[in-house]
Amino acid sequence: MKLPLIYTCFSLVVTTLGTKLPSSFMKCDVKQSDFQQCLTKTVENAIKQMNRPFKEVNLLNLEPLEIPSMTIAAGSHVMYTQQVFKNMKVSGFNETTCSKVEFDTDSKILKLDCVVPNFRLEFDYEINGQILQISVYGKGSGWGVYFDNHLKLTLKLGEYEKKGKKYYNVVKQQLSMLMRDVDFDLGNLFDGDKEAADRIKKIFKENALEIYGDVRSGYEEAFGLVFASIFDRLLGKVPAAYLFGEK
Ligand SMILES: *[C@@H]1O[C@H](CO)[C@@H](O)[C@H](O)[C@H]1NC(C)=O
């Protein structure tokens, strides 16, 4: 009967103190003069380490990041089809570079400006509608790569207290996502009619950015929520004092 008692005491200590960031993560103190530069390096470095989960702080594995389902609404100019994705796996975060990560403690706004050179998606998909006035349908598995995917994420944080400690949470997110180019394949397009599929895929690739532009806000909304939830999970575990050396 000793073990449960020890375990209880231990978990009590942990919940009272909150969880610190993993020891392999760099740390920045909001009072240091180069806080913003420190944060930029720290966040980039942490993202690169996330090829495994950090369960103690609720961080998932990013290599790959698994998204069970994502539905992107039809556009209004060239992409007249809803896109349904299932079992999506996103990878390539290990090569992320961040040019700017800023946190303003007064407005509690966290801004990230990062590029993922090969943002790779693997998924099961379903589409049925019109793209560039061509009828398309297909259901199968596919992949896509967004080259130099430029992500600008803005998170508005709120704060609350738990057991005498200040914690942040994400109250609002906004994502801008724009890539230099796109490559993709959609298996089983037109029920496997390869000739028709190849013809269409060539047209779509030539117009990929125009097509993306029509549904961009849907992608930004969906991925914005995914990225915000990754931060929110971490923020729920690690008190503000352990994140930025705040008192
Ligand atoms: C990132 O991961 C990919 C796929 O596993 C690998 O090919 C690449 O070399 C990795 N890049 C770095 C910088 O570790």
CA–CA distances in Å: residue 133 to residues 4, 31, 139, 164, 226: 66, 56, 19, 59, 31
Measured in Å, residue 127 CA sits from the centre of ligand 1 at 31
- 208-235 helix and 194-206 helix, angle to the nearest 10 degrees: 80
Fold category of 6-244 in CATH: Bactericidal permeability-increasing protein; domain 1 (3.15.10)
- Measured CA to CA, the distance from residue 142 to residue 187 in angstroms comes to 5
Interval 93-120: pLDDT, tens: 999 999 999 999 999 999 999 999 999 9
Q: Print pLDDT tens along the chain (247 aa).
A: 444 444 444 444 445 567 899 999 999 999 999 999 999 999 999 999 999 999 999 999 999 999 999 999 999 999 999 999 999 999 999 999 999 999 999 999 999 999 999 999 999 999 999 999 999 999 999 999 999 999 999 999 999 999 899 999 999 999 999 999 999 999 999 998 999 999 999 999 999 999 999 999 999 999 999 999 999 999 999 999 999 887 5
Interval 191-225: pLDDT, tens: 989 999 999 999 999 999 999 999 999 999 999 99
Q: Whose CA is nearest to atom 14 of ligand 1?
A: 94
Q: Which atom of ligand 1 is nearest to the CA of 94?
A: 1
Contact of 136 with 200, CB cutoff 8 Å:
yes
- Measured CA to CA, the distance from residue 156 to residue 145 in angstroms comes to 29
Q: Where are the domains of the chain?
A: 6-244
DSSP helix, strand, coil percent of the chain (3-state; round to 5): 35, 40, 25
**H helices present in the chain, as ranges:** 2-17, 35-49, 194-206, 208-235, 240-244
Specify the pTM: 0.90
Q: What confidence score (pLDDT) does residue 18 get?
A: 77
- Cβ of 94 closer than 6 Å to ligand 1, yes or no, is yes
133: left (phi over 0), alpha (psi -120 to 50) or beta: left
Instruction: Specify the DSSP class assigned to residue 82.
Output: -
